[in-house]
């Protein structure tokens, strides 16, 4: 998938030094007034520039606690999930952003990006189309729409969108590559060759205009021993995480079997309304049924850690008495504690 890294976070132009100087001020403005849209815009751009996503999550959660009806915290949380490659969670946050304020092209663009990573081009096309409607002069939106249309086999529409992106930015390499791919699909070798030549020319123009961004030579490969050591370190880290989440799950079950729902809930994620939703569900079920349900769960197995999320399986006996497999998902909260997201 040829999506430019620069397109992933379309932050406003800003100086790194300026961001470092003003970052605390933006946080303070948001803390005083969570509805300060200008502060959020600067804060979002500088968070992207400085990659201070842990801080951004804390700011967003605090602002959301003060006012749950403003969209900006959800947009920040969605962007943070994109950074962590939790694309399904990112979509949830962008959905909430749009539900609170529908005319946000950035939210639609990022949702489209998330759906592309989730390999759902039809949903990505819907999001990209909405971003184009709201901000048609943005070449990134036109390019994203072109790519989704290409994936869906609508070559005519994809060609129009890609050409629109190039019309808006003649150095849009990705849009030229999309056109080349379209022509290759249509067996238009002359068109494909022409577009690839234009890609090369655009690369040369970009390199001349931005010598500071000239491609650096690839680093020498690490020695085999060092690579093996890194693999061992990663395995050890995953092993420790898996041990932690299994411990969390077992403590949660023990609390539930002892009739302590409030304690059990502390092992559930504090993102969005996860904990509140489980609390409502547990209260509706009632303690006797809950104790019966959780007594039917077996041990966790087949656990896998993927970035800031982890998935495990467990055998459980359903209401009909049949043993089935269920998936338990964990996520690392901003305080770095792994908690249950869903099961």
Domain ranges of the chain: 5-213, 234-342
The listed CATH number (3.40.50.300, 3.40.50.10710, 3.40.190.290, 1.25.40.10) that belongs to domain 5-213: 1.25.40.10
Lowest mean pLDDT among 92-96, 214-218, 225-229, 338-342: 214-218
Residue 295, CB half-sphere, CA atoms under 13 Å: how many?
10
Q: What is the CA radius of gyration of the chain?
A: 24
Element at 216 (helix H, strand E): none
The DSSP result for 63-118, as a single string, is: HHHH-TT-SHHHHHHHHHHHHTT-HHHHHHHHHHHHHH-S--HHHHHHHHHHHHHT
Pair of tokens at residue 132? 């184009």
Pinpoint the alpha helices (H) of 135-219.
Answer: 139-151, 155-168, 173-185, 189-209
- DSSP annotation of 271 reads S
- 145 or 275, greater pLDDT: 145
150 and 178 Cβ atoms separated by less than 8 Å: yes
Give, rounded to a whole angstrom, the gap between the first and last alpha carbons of the chain.
32
Q: Which position has the token pair 């949702």?
A: 111
Quickly state the pLDDT bin for 214 (edges 50, 70, 90).
Answer: low
What φ, ψ does residue 30 adopt, rounded to 5°?
Answer: -65, -40
What was the pLDDT predicted at 215?
A: 58
Kind plus residue range of the DSSP H or E element containing 137 = none
CA-nearest of 286, 245, 291 to 268 is 245
- Give the angle 139-136-51 at the CA atoms, nearest 5°: 50
> In 3-state terms, what secondary structure has residue 187?
coil
Q: What is the mean pLDDT of residues 71-77?
A: 94
| Bridge partners for 312 per DSSP | 328
- Tokens 């007594």 correspond to 295
- List of residues 6+ apart from 136 with CB closer than 8 A: 142
Q: What mean pLDDT is reported for the chain? A: 86
Mean of the pLDDT values across residues 55-77? 91
Rounded Cα distance between 297 and 315, Å, is 6
pTM of the model: 0.65
Half-sphere exposure of 3 (CA within 13 A, CB side): 22
Q: What is the token pair recorded at 18? A: 């300026």
* Position 1 pLDDT exceeds 50: no
Interval 129-157 mean pLDDT = 94
Query: Please, what CATH class does the domain formed by 234-342 belong to?
Result: alpha beta
**Continuous segment of H or E residues that includes residue 58:** helix 53-66
3-class SS at 29?
Answer: helix
The burial of 213, by beta-carbon neighbours within 10 Å (0-12 exposed, 13-18 middle, 19 or more buried), is given as: exposed
Q: What is the pLDDT of residues 297-337, one digit of tens each?
A: 888 888 888 777 888 888 888 777 788 888 998 988 877 88
């Amino acid at each position: 998938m040829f999506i430019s890294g620069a397109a992933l976070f379309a932050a406003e132009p800003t100086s790194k030094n300026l961001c470092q100087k003003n970052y605390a001020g933006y946080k303070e403005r948001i803390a005083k007034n969570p509805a300060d849209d200008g502060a959020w815009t600067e804060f979002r751009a500088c968070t992207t520039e400085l990659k201070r996503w842990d801080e951004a999550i804390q700011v967003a959660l605090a602002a959301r606690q003060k006012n749950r009806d403003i969209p900006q915290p959800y947009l920040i949380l969605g962007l943070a999930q994109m950074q962590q490659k939790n694309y399904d969670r990112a979509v949830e946050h962008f959905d909430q952003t749009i539900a609170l304020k529908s005319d946000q092209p950035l939210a639609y663009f990022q949702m489209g990006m998330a759906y592309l990573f989730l390999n759902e081009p039809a949903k990505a096309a819907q999001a990209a189309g909405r971003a184009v409607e709201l901000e048609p002069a943005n070449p990134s939106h036109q390019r994203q729409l072109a790519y989704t249309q290409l994936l869906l086999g609508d070559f005519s529409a994809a060609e129009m969108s890609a050409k629109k992106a190039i019309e808006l930015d003649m150095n849009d390499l990705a849009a030229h590559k999309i056109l080349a791919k379209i022509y290759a699909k249509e067996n238009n070798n002359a068109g494909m060759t022409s577009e690839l030549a234009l890609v090369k020319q655009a690369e040369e123009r970009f390199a001349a205009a931005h010598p500071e961004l000239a491609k650096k030579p690839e680093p020498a490969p690490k020695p085999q021993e060092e690579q093996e050591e890194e693999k061992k370190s990663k395995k050890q880290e995953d092993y420790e995480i898996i041990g932690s989440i299994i411990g969390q799950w077992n403590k949660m079950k023990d609390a539930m079997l002892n009739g302590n729902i409030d304690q059990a809930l502390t092992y559930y994620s504090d993102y969005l309304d996860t904990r509140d939703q489980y609390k409502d569900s547990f209260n509706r079920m009632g303690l006797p049924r809950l104790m019966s349900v959780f007594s039917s769960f077996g041990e966790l197995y087949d656990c896998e850690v993927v970035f800031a999320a982890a998935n495990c399986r467990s055998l459980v006996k359903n209401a009909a008495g049949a043993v089935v497999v269920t998936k338990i998902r964990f996520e690392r909260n901003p305080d770095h504690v792994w908690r249950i997201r869903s099961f």
